[in-house]
Amino acid sequence: MTSIGTGYDLSNSVFSPDGRNFQVEYAVKAVENGGTAVGIRCKDGVVLAVEKIITSKLLKPGANKRIATVDRHVGIVSAGLVPDGRHFVSRARDEASSWRGTYKGPIPTSALANRLGGYVQAYTLYSSVRPFGVTAIVGGWDTEAELPVDGQVGTGPKSGSGGKVEGAKAGGPGLYMIEPSGLYWGYYGAATGKGRQAAKAELEKLDLASGNLSLADGVKEAARIIYVAHEDSKDKDFELEMSWISSMDGPTKGRHEEVPKELLEEAEKAAKRSLEGDDEEEEDKGQGEQMEE
């Protein structure tokens, strides 16, 4: 405990004189010590991937999964404390089930993120509870529908009152990240965990906002980014866990599923080849600089 936080880090309900909530900041530190998790929003779906650190050689392959299905069309990957992540998934499933019971249909990804953000934020308000030591990335595919004019801000009517906005649809891929503070945003690409900085740098290179990345390429890029973010010299061995949600015309038919083993292995091999190629380029560059000297 640092002297800065002394006396102000004992409760969620106390702010420091400079407006900081130390309990939430400590929860963020727990997330930063977890394996890297990545989410990529593609033009025809969403890819979720996580670096699952192998804590023991006795663990059965595939154990302690970090990616979970919330509803048929939504998946969650988390970084941080595993038990907190499991409780978070349980709450998400309750929200999805409640929505189906009330509205007789699947919960929109944005609505799920909104509800979960409010739930997490409630754990930062009371001294009797602690914040969640987990950051979750929520990905889903919402059923596409024509966007009505009425109630849409900033689009403007194009076919008269009560008509439709031309060329605009609601639904499609959705990707959100929920932090320990309860803050959540929609993303084209999101990363959290130990290697988040390296992962974010790689995500920015993909120009995801243009919407040109296919789901198949997204799987390869997600695997590559996880391998780039992993530091062999510092981190333990890991197992790559990955899932995807495609459009209704894609391989998963709008469902959240694990990436097939063959495709996952192919993506891992491509990621390793890419890393080896980068290492060779760095060695050649270093030798060239020595020769110039």
Question: Could you report the per-residue pLDDT of 219-246, keeping only the tens digit for each?
Answer: 999 999 999 999 876 778 899 999 999 9
**What digits encode the pLDDT tens for the residues 142-189?**
987 765 655 544 545 454 455 555 666 678 999 999 999 999 999 999
- What are residue 138's DSSP bridge partners? 76, 176
Q: In Å, how far are 56, 66, 76, 107, 213 from 87, measured between CA atoms?
A: 23, 12, 12, 19, 33
- Report d(CA 122, CA 182) in Å as an integer: 8
Answer with the residue of higher pLDDT: 275 or 28: 28
- Tens digits of per-residue pLDDT, 195-216? 999 999 999 999 999 989 999 9
How far, in Å, CA of 157 to CA of 153, rounded? 10
Q: Token digits for 291?
A: 């020769």
* H helical segments located in the chain: 22-32, 82-103, 109-122, 196-205, 215-229, 261-292
For residue 164, what pLDDT is reported? 55
Helix (H) and strand (E) counts for the chain?
6, 10
CATH superfamily of 22-292: Aminohydrolase, N-terminal nucleophile (Ntn) domain (3.60.20.10)
pTM: 0.86
- The sign of the CA dihedral 124, 128, 129, 130 is positive
For 254-292, b/e burial (b = at least 16 CB within 10 A) is bbbebbeeebbeebbebbeebeeeeeeeeeeeeeeeeee
Write the pLDDT tens digit of every residue in 244-265: 999 999 999 999 999 999 999 9
